[in-house]
Structures are given as structure tokens and as C-alpha cells.
């Protein structure tokens, strides 16, 4: 059975999430990928303030396709998370609570997840049309010039994902494949 979570996610929610849990998220999440992360990171390095408040938020690594008329959003599946590894610990330090993407993370990110009591969710790569059904609306927040890479706010209802790395550092990418290795 999937665990239903209403956002914003609480510390209690995070504590109760265990690697491998199926989760349905409802509420709002931010979007952002390579270019947006680079900009946020550079602002932080320079000691400047961010154009969007990331405290308590969950960021979805996604660059959606355009919405066809009549659709709230275009297909929007996860992109590979490791490309954001360089930036993620800095954002987690600033209060970001969760990330949604696909694929493994490096050691620094896992350590930062544990240290800051956060969570990393995996969505199914390449299931963009299906995932978009759970995204009810979008709002442009900043970096519109980046096109698909802009930062948006999605309102989601039962957004499907799996806890890939929990706040204790348990990591499905480490524990699960071994069970099926022959």
C-alpha cells in the first residue's frame, strides 16, 4: 500500500518514510534541473538571496514537454539526479526537505540527506505521460528564459514515487539490485 503524504512534508513524515516505500504526494512541489540549480548555487555562493524560498520544499528534477491545449501540464517525468549532486547538499543545508528524480546519488548527497534529515524520492523515468496525470496545475516562479528548465510550482495530487534514500541513509539503489543479482 502506498503512503499518502500531504505537503508540505513534516519532519515526522520524513522520519516515518523508509527506503522502498511507495508514496503518493499531494500538495505543491517546486521544479528545477541543471540550469536552474546552477543559478541558485551561484547566488548562494555569492551570498545573494534566492528568487524562490526553498525552505521546507520538495524539488522535482524535471524539464517538462509543452502542454498540449486542454492539458494542465505537458509530459513531465524525472531527469537523472546525479547531475544535481554538485548542488544538492548546499540546498539541503538551506532547508530544502526533499528531492524527486531518478537514479543514484553520490556519497556527499547521501550524507547531506542524513545530516539534514531529508528524503530522496525516485519517480519512474520515462513514465512522463502517466506522471503528468497527477500534476493538476503549474505556476511559473522564475527563470522563464530557461524554457523547460525554468522553476515552476506544481500542484500535485497523488504524485507517485518511491522513497529511494531515506533520512537514515538507506538506499534502494544499493540494497535492491543485489537481491536480484545472479
Partner 1 sequence: MEIRQIKAETVTETVKKLFMDCNYFIGKDIMTALKKSFENETSPVGKSVLSQIIENDKIAANEEIPLCQDTGMAILFVEYGDKVVIEDGSFEDAVNEGVRQAYCDGYLRKSVVSDPVFDRINTKDNTPAIIHTKIVSGNSIKITAGGKGFGSENMSAIKMITPSYGIEGVKQFILDTVRTAGPNPCPPIVVGVGIGGTFERAAQLAKQATFRSIDSSNTDPRYASLERELLEEINKMGFGPAGLGGNTTALGVNIETSPTHIAGMPVAVNICCHAARHASATI
Q: Which residues bind ligand SF4 (CB under 6 A)?
A: 77, 125-126
Work out which of 80, 90, 106, 116 binds partner 1, going by CB under 8 A. Answer: 80
- Closest-approach residue to ligand SF4 (CB): 126
Closest separation in Å from C-beta 91 to partner 1: 21
140-149 per-residue burial string, b: 16 or more CB within 10 A, e: under 16: ebbbeebeeb
Classified as helix, coil or strand, 128 is: helix
Active-site pick, 14, 23, 31, 37 = 37
Q: Which residues pair with 28 in a beta bridge?
A: 155
DSSP-derived letter for residue 150 is S
Cβ proximity to partner 1, 52 vs 124, nearer residue: 124
Nearest to 157 by CA among 34, 24, 68, 3: 24
Least separation, in Å, of the C-beta of 140 and partner 1? 16
Among 44, 103, 117, 136, binds partner 1 (CB under 8 A): 103
Q: Does 107 bind partner 1 (CB under 8 A)?
A: no
**In the complex with ligand SF4, which residue's Cβ is closer, 114 or 173?**
173
Q: Which of 65, 114, 141, 142 binds partner 1 (CB under 8 A)?
A: 65
Beta strands, E only, the chain: 3-6, 22-31, 58-60, 98-101, 119-122, 135-142, 151-165
Residue 135, interface with partner 1 (CB under 8 A)? no
33 noted as active-site residue: no
- What does the DSSP 8-state code read for residue 75? -
> Quick one: which of 1, 47, 49, 181 contacts partner 1 (CB under 8 A)?
181
**How far is it, in rounded angstroms, from Cα 85 to Cα 163?**
17
Catalytic residues, by residue number, are 37
Amino acid at each position: 500500500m502506498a503512503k499518502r503524504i500531504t505537503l508540505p512534508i513534516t519532519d515526522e513524515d520524513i522520519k516515518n518514510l523508509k527506503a522502498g516505500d511507495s508514496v503518493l504526494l499531494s500538495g505543491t512541489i517546486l521544479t528545477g534541473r541543471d540550469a536552474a540549480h546552477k543559478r541558485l548555487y551561484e547566488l548562494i555562493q555569492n551570498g545573494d538571496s534566492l528568487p524562490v524560498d526553498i525552505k521546507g520544499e520538495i524539488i522535482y528534477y524535471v524539464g517538462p514537454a509543452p502542454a498540449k491545449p486542454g492539458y494542465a501540464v505537458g509530459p513531465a517525468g524525472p531527469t537523472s539526479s546525479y547531475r544535481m549532486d554538485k548542488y544538492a547538499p548546499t540546498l539541503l543545508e538551506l532547508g530544502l526537505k526533499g528531492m524527486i528524480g531518478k537514479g543514484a546519488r553520490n556519497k556527499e548527497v547521501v550524507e547531506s540527506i542524513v545530516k539534514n534529515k531529508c528524503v530522496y524520492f525516485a519517480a519512474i523515468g520515462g513514465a512522463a505521460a502517466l506522471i503528468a496525470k497527477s500534476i493538476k496545475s503549474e505556476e511559473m516562479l522564475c527563470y522563464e528564459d530557461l524554457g523547460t528548465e525554468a522553476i515552476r510550482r506544481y500542484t500535485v495530487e497523488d504524485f507517485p514515487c518511491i522513497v529511494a534514500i531515506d533520512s537514515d541513509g538507506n538506499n534502494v539503489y544499493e540494497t535492491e539490485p543485489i537481491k536480484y543479482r545472479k
